Amino acid sequence: MNILYRDRRALIIDKPAGLPVHAGRAGGPSVEDFFPEWQQGKHGPWLAHRLDQDTAGCLVIALKKSFLLAAQACFAEGRAEKTYWAVLRGVPAAREGVIDLPIAKFTQGRAWKMVPDPAAPPAISEWRVLGDDGAHALVEFHPRTGRTHQIRVHAASLGHPIIGDAVYGGGAGALHLLARQIRLPVEPPIEATAPVPPHMQKLVERCLGTL
């Protein structure tokens, strides 16, 4: 597991796409499998927040309970500074904007997804296009809130779902969504930037004009 930041309070790992944070009922590897090698005392570590299984990038792990509480407060109060990169199908007509679209969980049988719902809690994301190749756009998202699947639903609401997001119209394949950067304004602050994962590299480079 690639560690992007570490001190005695916490570490930030570069979670691979496809690796769940929690162990599932069916077994298989998860981020929690690494906890024994990161443990510093009788208790911990703890997940300070979550990432979807198919999302790659920055994930904060608390090594001390005091830091866990401080980090959870940052997320709950909207003080955590999060940056996501996503490769979208097509190119938005605008180059930047703010999406204010409340979303709620909708379950049908054993399947579920998040859907727009004006009665749901707020879900707000700032976004801007970093570059495009005419067929895809690399978009940077700054979520002001932390709802489940928020970036995925908001990207789809632009009419341009994330590549590989079969749930929200992006087609099959690996999800092109990266938790690119995170900064927690604790004292002292912690921050890290995740590299672009291999499955996103080609389209990111094409959109940025570096390929």
The residues assigned a catalytic role are 52
Q: What number of other Cβ atoms are within 10 A of residue 141's Cβ? A: 21
Q: How far is CA 19 from CA 31, 55, 110, 147, in A?
A: 7, 8, 21, 20
Cα distance between residue 96 and residue 138, in whole Å: 12
Q: How far is CA 126 from CA 41, 74, 154, 177, 185, in A?
A: 40, 18, 10, 16, 20
Cα distance between residue 67 and residue 62, in whole Å: 6
Cα distance between residue 62 and residue 139, in whole Å: 29
Copy the structure tokens of residue 68: 């866990």
Cα distance between residue 15 and residue 22, in whole Å: 12
Copy the structure tokens of residue 24: 């599932």
